[in-house]
Structure 1
Amino acid sequence: MKPLKLFGMVFFCGLLSSTQGVLSGLSCAISPRGMQQVLSSAIIQSGLFQKELQGMTLPNFRGDGGLLNSRTIITGLHLERSWLPTLSVALVPGAGMQLLINVHLDLSGNCLVGLLSEIILISLEVTITSSIKCPNFESGAVHVIVDDCFCIVGTVKIKLLSGLLPLSVHDVVLGHLTATLPGLLCPVIDIVFNMVNIQLLSTVDVVIPIGQKGTVHYHLAGQPFISGSSLIMDLDGTVQQRGGGIIPHDSYSSALPPLLDGLILIALRQGFLSILVAVMLQLQPHTFPCSPEAFSGANQMRDAIIALFPTGCTSCPAASPLSIRVECEGNPHLVLEPNKATIKLPALLQVFVNRPDGSITSLLFLKAALSLNVRLSIARGSLVLGLSLGSVSLILKASEIGISDISSLKPHFINLLVEAYLPPLNAAAENGIPLPQVFGFPLERANFQILKGVLLIRL
């Protein structure tokens, strides 16, 4: 059978070594049960295999024997009906994948035995076995060979409308089907695999927007391989800011934990996720009036700040309205620890007043380190982050009016951050981190497991 040179078809590749050491933000392992579910859905449940069978017509044939040693001639033999097939998958380490399709076919045609012409009805079971191999991988192109396709004809029932079926006719038909069916069914397998390849490859080579902030291009990072219990792929994610360049990450593939009894395991690495978080949480500086409309406790914060004014300070604008500016300083950084995900967010806080002459007096200039607790969920194919404030550290950098101790102000700043700053952060995160829908697996019901430096998604 002619090899199929396709750009992709990664799910049929069986290799001798893993792709560890390849730049990879995401890795996935799919169990044989998962592959069987994927391929059964794409080939059988979709009706694709049955549709391709509809055009199958067997050639006319004749055989010796029959009544009074006359010839048996069968013409117009065609498929009347194919019953719902079944499909099973076996992963062969270092070799590839073996697919087995069992299908019940009903055929009919015209049968001439001697001078008697009748309708012949044939019902049979056929098992089609194909070995799918991937001998090499070059520059992103996966070369696929559909090898060793053969058919085994099982139970065959043959009848004529008259009910008189010579034994010789049965033998002639069985021999003819055994000889001709592989040449008819194996090309159908080739066509179906080619179509399914295009469909499934699109799920592992896809560009997805990160809200309005940029895009991530998921694509195969290296040669897939088959272990004893799963098909494993490494995907890299090329992250690009809107109107900017590509942001590199330093995540490399590594060994995956056991798949256990699940269908698919996806591992997202900390360095790659941090880049996506940094793009997703791009915020312009926010300025809030120190007023109850902006956050509760604003009046108490104002009173606490005024109480810190140095005695006799003539330049202290006690009567002027206060404003507070919050600005990210550098990129947020995601930290994955066992059973815990946090985002470290450096920020600058400035408390200032606008004077009547248009000048600004900076009462306080603070450096803040925010630790945000992350609650994970999946919605609309994206990893959604729910953020809450875990802890805050504040360091006074400068004060134009001589304030030197801010310890009494920390509760007020926490109140400001929770009520005024976290809502826009959560709004920026509400679209989530886009994930590839690998082979069409719906991840909304998946479970999370957080290890050191790795987020695992299990289905």
Structure 2
Amino acid sequence: MMMLKLFGIIFFCGLFLPSQGVLSGLSCAISPGAMEDVLSGAILRNNLLQRHLQGLVFPNIMREGGLPNSPTSITGLHLVKVRLPKLSVRLLSGIGIKMTISARLQLSGNCLIGLFSELIDIFVDVKIAANIKCASFESGTVQVVVDECLCIIGTMKVKLLSGLLSLPINDVILADLTTNLPRVVCPVVDVVINHANIQLLSTLNAVVPVGKTGMIHYQLASLPFTSGLFLGLDLDGAVMQVGGGIIPHDSSPSALPPLLDHRMIVAMRDKFVNAILSLMLQIGPQTFPCTTESFSGASQLQEAIQILLPSECSACHGTSPLTIKITLLGKPVIILEENKATVELSVLIQLSVKPLDGPIITLLLMKADLRLDVQVSVTGGRLVLVLSLNSIYLFLESSDVGITDITSLKPHCSNLIVEVLLPLMNGILDMGIPLPNVMGIPLLKVTVRMLQGQLVVCA
């Protein structure tokens, strides 16, 4: 048994410290087919295996006697090319990954038969199998152990320029390669897997910007786990504001939904999404005059307010323009239910006037509880949310002029939210929430599902 410890790397940046005490914000399930493509890309399509095996030198093969009854030796035997490599993956439940590489190796060297020397080519079919296991985890770094590297020889073909090769020599070569091929090839395969491991694990540890307000630090949260159906990964997503403050999100662990026929699913928990929305929707108070340029329903709102104003308030009925101020209260909260996503948000709506000869008069200060429907899509590796108004509930907070009934203002405030606040929020959310680049698996043919407490991206 051959053992080699492989270490995943952790992205280091002095400005960004790993989050402490934060449970996993999202989880991934990767199908065996997707893992097969990932490892094939890292090891085969990038010619990683070819580069490390090419030129590999094998021990000399010596034989007493031969053609014609003379000692035979094969020296300078080295690997020239890896032909038609193919990689397959099987997930071992609770253990790890069994990776098998099938290929035809072309070896070349010098063959000395008696006093005659000539080139020799050996073509041998091999099947290299290795188990990849996760051994330990600490601070975003996973230790991986590769063991039981087997190198099984299949069909072999030997060529001499003269064509003079006896069956006994062929048997000697086969016996020698059966012994030495695993000793030479398996350590190189360990190195290749080490490189691939570093490359793939580095995708799970990255800092990605979220507009100008902050960033998300994705990193592996615990040891990967395997079932016979998928490879599972839990990721931390530390949501950080510019300046280094972390927006906490205590996400309780929850089971991954079935992978079904998808190559990968990424399940984001509601508390994690809430933390990102809090980061993105940092909108200061919005103050503007009540004009048709800022709000098409301004004239209707002006008329509705005039009706509510007491006649004795002479300053209220003057020519001073009505000023509107919208202030977000608290943080938006996303609620994820089966096939449904909504955002709850509260705002203060202040309507005021400034007489020419007096202080500002707050005609109305209202609290509006909003329930917003959410449409979710994935574009360019980012999760894009689009909000629309579902319902609004108005509550009177105060009035400097004694207004007590605001029932008639509900449709006008709804228009205000739809025409002023929602375009502002959707414009910010249009940048999207950056999703983790899990082992470079492309997000193709993506669908998004809403479950209880989870938003699931299926690719």
With normalisation by structure 2, the TM-score equals: 0.93
Distance in 2, matches of 1:246 and 1:22, equals: 10
User: What is aligned with 2:388?
Assistant: 388
Distance 1:364 1:340, change over 3 A: same
1:249 counterpart = 2:224: no
Shifted more, 102-111 versus 134-143: the winner is 134-143
Q: Which amino acid aligns with 2:443?
A: L
* CA displacement, residues 412-438 of structure 1 (integer Å, 9 cap, x when unaligned): 211121112211111211211121111
User: What is aligned with 2:15?
Assistant: none
Q: Which amino acid aligns with 1:224?
A: P
Distance in 2, matches of 1:409 and 1:133, equals: 64
Distance 1:412 1:318, change over 3 A: farther
- Secondary structure, aligned partner of 1:85: strand
Write the mapping of 1:101-116 to structure 2, written as runs, cut at 5 A: 101-116=101-116
1:138 CA drift (Å): 4.4
User: What is aligned with 2:5?
Assistant: 4
1:100 counterpart = 2:119: no
Write the mapping of 1:212-223 to structure 2, written as runs, cut at 5 A: 212-223=212-223
User: What is aligned with 1:330?
Assistant: 330
Q: Which amino acid aligns with 1:360?
A: I
- Secondary structure, aligned partner of 2:404: coil
1:261 CA drift (Å): 2.0
User: What is aligned with 2:14?
Assistant: none
1:45 counterpart = 2:45: yes
Distance in 2, matches of 1:244 and 1:222, equals: 24
User: What is aligned with 2:137?
Assistant: 137
User: What is aligned with 1:191?
Assistant: 191
1:22 CA drift (Å): 8.3
1:62 CA drift (Å): 1.3
Q: Which amino acid aligns with 2:378?
A: I
- Secondary structure, aligned partner of 2:282: coil
Write the mapping of 1:208-357 to structure 2, written as runs, cut at 5 A: 208-243=208-243, 245-357=245-357
Contact in 2 for aligned 1:378/1:444 (Cα 8 Å): no
* CA displacement, residues 285-324 of structure 1 (integer Å, 9 cap, x when unaligned): 1112111111212112111111211233334244210111
Distance 1:358 1:235, change over 3 A: farther
Shifted more, 313-322 versus 166-175: the winner is 313-322
Unaligned runs of 5+ in 1: 10-20
Q: Which amino acid aligns with 1:184?
A: V
Distance 1:273 1:55, change over 3 A: same
CA-based RMSD of the aligned residues comes to 1.9
Q: Which amino acid aligns with 2:80?
A: E
Distance in 1, matches of 2:84 and 2:355, equals: 80
Contact in 2 for aligned 1:22/1:221 (Cα 8 Å): no
- Secondary structure, aligned partner of 2:330: coil
* CA displacement, residues 68-96 of structure 1 (integer Å, 9 cap, x when unaligned): 33111112222232213101111111222
Q: Which amino acid aligns with 2:261?
A: D
Contact in 1 for aligned 2:22/2:248 (Cα 8 Å): no
Contact in 2 for aligned 1:323/1:353 (Cα 8 Å): yes
Distance in 1, matches of 2:314 and 2:427, equals: 42
Q: Which amino acid aligns with 2:262?
A: G
Distance in 2, matches of 1:276 and 1:40, equals: 34
User: What is aligned with 2:378?
Assistant: 378
| Count of aligned pairs | 448
Unaligned runs of 5+ in 2: 11-20
User: What is aligned with 2:66?
Assistant: 66
User: What is aligned with 1:397?
Assistant: 397
- Secondary structure, aligned partner of 2:258: coil
Q: Which amino acid aligns with 1:373?
A: D
With normalisation by structure 1, the TM-score equals: 0.93
1:277 CA drift (Å): 0.7
1:5 CA drift (Å): 4.6
User: What is aligned with 1:84?
Assistant: 84
1:361 CA drift (Å): 0.8
Write the mapping of 1:166-185 to structure 2, written as runs, cut at 5 A: 166-185=166-185
Distance in 1, matches of 2:58 and 2:270, equals: 57
Distance in 2, matches of 1:38 and 1:5, equals: 18
